[in-house]
Chain A
Amino acid sequence: MSRIAAVFQRLAGQKRKALIPFVTAGDPAAGDAVALMHALVRAGADVIELGVPFSDPMADGPVIQRASERALRAGVSLDDVLGCVAGFRKRDGETAVVLMGYANPIEAMGAEAFARGAQAAGVDGVLVVDYPPEESAEFAALMRRHGIDMIFLLAPTSTEARIDQVARIASGYVYYVSLTGVTGAGHLDVADVGAKLAAIRARTGRLPLGVGFGIRDGESARAIGRVADAVVIGSRIIQEMEQSPQGAAAERAAALLRGIREALDRP
């Protein structure tokens, strides 16, 4: 069983929801990633989405773009990101790690080399934002051969035919972006999300559903937790770290996540 599947199985047994923080590798500072990941796990993370910095993060909002820019200024490459995961794995064999990023850095490394490197480092899943299912059948098969789950996005505008297409090649979990927009934007309509998730679940079966984009605090996380299997929180954590005094970013991010964990677990 994959590490991601094991995480969701364990949580289902405890009747708890998965908490998935997103951070960009190398932000706020190049050497911080491993310590930050451990701090997030202590604060209640079940899966960590680790952003691979890219110069043109088209589907992200300004907050995550700034994180990407800081990491790139610090010289963080995809090799370095794999190094972070390997470093994290020395002390943590349970928390699942999903790399989230764009196609070009992966293609520059070479898909085969990436697959080998990611497997060796202990990566559990990959979400390539600009690889929709119809452009990534080969890549998804390659990931599968290396024991890595291919995570796909679904949106409020995804048709039934597309949901079926994603269901055929996705594994690990499916990431539903709850707003038709970019990361870090706008407000959230929980009833709307719930209805759409039910429609998706009818077609994706047992695959866990995570929801992201627009979750900012314990209350919104708790509301989403009632209808989803996992709650993803990204821009809000990065904002918290941006506003932290130097050296306190990991601590502040962990404190924020801990509050959300508590809200999510409250009966």
Chain B
Amino acid sequence: MQMYDLPDSRGHFGPYGGVFVAETLVHALEELRAAYAQCREDPAFRAEFAHELKHYVGRPSPVYHARRWSDLLGGAQIYLKREDLNHTGAHKVNNTIGQALVARRMGKPRVIAETGAGQHGVATATVAARYGMECVVYMGAEDIRRQAANVYRMKLLGATVVPVESGSKTLKDALNEAMRDWVTNVANTFYIIGTVAGPHPYPMMVRDFQAVIGRECLEQMPELCGRQPDAILACVGGGSNAMGIFHPYIPHASVRLIGVEAGGLGLASGHHAASLCAGRPGVLHGNRTYLLQDAHGQIVETHSISAGLDYPGVGPEHAWLKDSGRAEYVTVTDDEALAAFHDCCHYEGIIPALESAHALAHAARIAPGMGRDRILLVNLSGRGDKDIHTVAERSGITI
């Protein structure tokens, strides 16, 4: 495979990505692009980022052989990249640290973020406390109701949580509102986007910060099992954990890259969040990518049992990887993800995030049809403590 050096200088991954924003945001993005280009080439920045990942996040995260579950499935060996063991319990913090360091270099004392389930909000509030920055998190009023514990976590960490009452009162509306704040307060404010979507340079910058996941795996897999895996699986909402583990493997053509989208109640039901598997290309939130939209180009409401996958778009680099055939994308329903959630608890003693359970479910689906000498590496992107109320509710239990 030829050298992979996307995006181009204006943020395009083939026909996807770009900078589709109102003029009022152009200058802020230009400033960010220039600042990040400097950070990216600066050894001192890279050293500081690596230091924080090691001493604050606890990296490298281990790769773990899920031996008992693999034996029970009777096929391929399943390995788990343990991003759930990071500080704050998910991969999100890799990115918020990186962006907070860029914000500090730009002299911006205030950071803002959008959040759906609250994971990115918590990760942003965490680093804002760590670096002494003011932090405002926008969250849909409906999500605030569903995720009370994370709202309280953010407040404990000193952040202000602003309920968003417009539209569907969920993640995409929080994103719209955060953009509005940024446009109005751009002089002192840095917008920390939580996924590999949005206008350039966000998809590239977030990918770069998350790519530490895949780089570690490149070293850990040969140490642990003598070779690279046959396939890597990761869940895809916006797609940051998947992009993080996929990106360093793109030139390794023998490694299959499999993104798992939220199939919700099934694609036929219309209640899902599978932008790549069931959407069409369009323009939203500053980039061109696959979107869930109606015939008139209006963005539709999505559904997933996992709030972190409940987004109608997807990072533009995934759109490119899909079209180019380098990565494949599949769906897993709410019920299948729940079954994998319980299996992972029972057989491995690990409570996975419902997001990550989607990737686990597809691994459990394909492993039995593969030889015992085959290797599947699953990005266990977060821990599931945040989801126990959702799971209990589904089983008719009130905690």
Contact = CB atoms under 8 A, between A and B. Distances in A.
Contacts of B183: 59, 180-182
B23 A158 contact: yes
B27 A155 contact: yes
Given A104-B282, A105-B296, A158-B27, A56 B167 contact: yes
Interface stretch (A2-10, A43-51, A90-98, A106-114): A106-114
Contact of B24 (A105, A135, A157): A157
Nearest to B12: A135
Contacts of A109: 296-297
Interface string B15-43: 00011111111111010000000000000
Most A Cβ at <10 Å: residue of B179, B284, B295, B298: B298
Contact of A108 (B19, B26, B30, B293): B293
A185 B26 CA distance: 19
A65 B166 contact: yes
Contacts of B285: 56, 58
Interface string A1-38: 00000000000000000000000000000000000000
B188 interface: no
Contacts of B314: none
B346 interface: no
Interface size grouping (class) on chain A: 35 or more
Most A Cβ at <10 Å: residue of B24, B285, B291: B24
B24 A108 contact: no
Interface in A153-203: 153-155, 157-159, 162, 177, 180-182, 185-186
A61 B167 CA distance: 12
A153 B22 contact: yes
A112 to B, nearest CB: 15
B286 interface: yes
A56 B24 contact: no
B230 to A, nearest CB: 38
Contacts of B20: 103, 130-132, 135
Nearest to B10: A134
Interface in A59-80: 59, 61-62, 65-66, 69, 72, 77-79
A20 B259 CA distance: 48
B19 to A, nearest CB: 6
A4 B27 CA distance: 29
A129 interface: yes
B298 A54 contact: yes
A155 B26 contact: yes
A155 B300 CA distance: 31
A62 B296 contact: no
Given A103-B283, A104-B291, A134-B19, A157 B27 contact: yes
A177 B297 contact: no
B24 A130 contact: no
B184 interface: yes
A62 B166 contact: yes
A61 B298 contact: no
B180 interface: yes
Contact of A107 (B286, B295, B297, B300): B297
B56 to A, nearest CB: 33
A107 to B, nearest CB: 6
B282 A155 contact: no
A132 B26 contact: yes
B296 A58 contact: no
Given A153-B22, A153-B23, A158-B26, A108 B295 contact: yes
A134 B99 CA distance: 26
A159 B27 contact: yes
Contacts of A88: none
B298 A55 contact: yes
B310 to A, nearest CB: 15
Most A Cβ at <10 Å: residue of B186, B280, B284, B293: B284
Given A69-B167, A158-B27, A107 B282 contact: yes
Contacts of A58: 21-22, 176, 179-180, 285-286
Contacts of A134: 10, 19
A104 B293 contact: yes
A130 B166 contact: no
B295 A129 contact: no
B218 interface: no
Contacts of A182: 24, 180, 183-184
B383 interface: no
Contacts of A129: 22
Contacts of B176: 56-58, 65
A181 B25 CA distance: 9
A57 B179 CA distance: 11
Nearest to A75: B296
A65 B167 contact: yes
B10 A59 contact: no
A199 to B, nearest CB: 15
B272 interface: no
A172 to B, nearest CB: 16
B172 interface: yes
Contacts of A185: 184
B321 interface: no
28 contacts: A57-B176, A58-B21, A58-B176, A58-B179, A59-B22, A59-B179, A65-B176, A104-B284, A104-B298, A104-B299, A107-B281, A107-B283, A108-B282, A130-B20, A130-B283, A130-B286, A132-B19, A132-B22, A155-B23, A155-B24, A158-B27, A162-B23, A177-B24, A180-B183, A181-B24, A181-B180, A181-B184, A182-B180
Given A102-B283, A159-B30, 11 more contacts: A59-B179, A65-B166, A65-B176, A104-B282, A104-B284, A105-B296, A107-B281, A132-B22, A134-B19, A135-B20, A157-B27
Task: Give me the 10 closest cross-chain CB pairs, A-B, nearest first.
Answer: A108-B297, A157-B27, A105-B297, A59-B22, A153-B23, A103-B283, A181-B184, A77-B296, A104-B297, A55-B298
Interface of A: 54-59, 61-62, 65-66, 69, 72, 77-79, 102-109, 129-132, 134-135, 152-155, 157-159, 162, 177, 180-182, 185-186
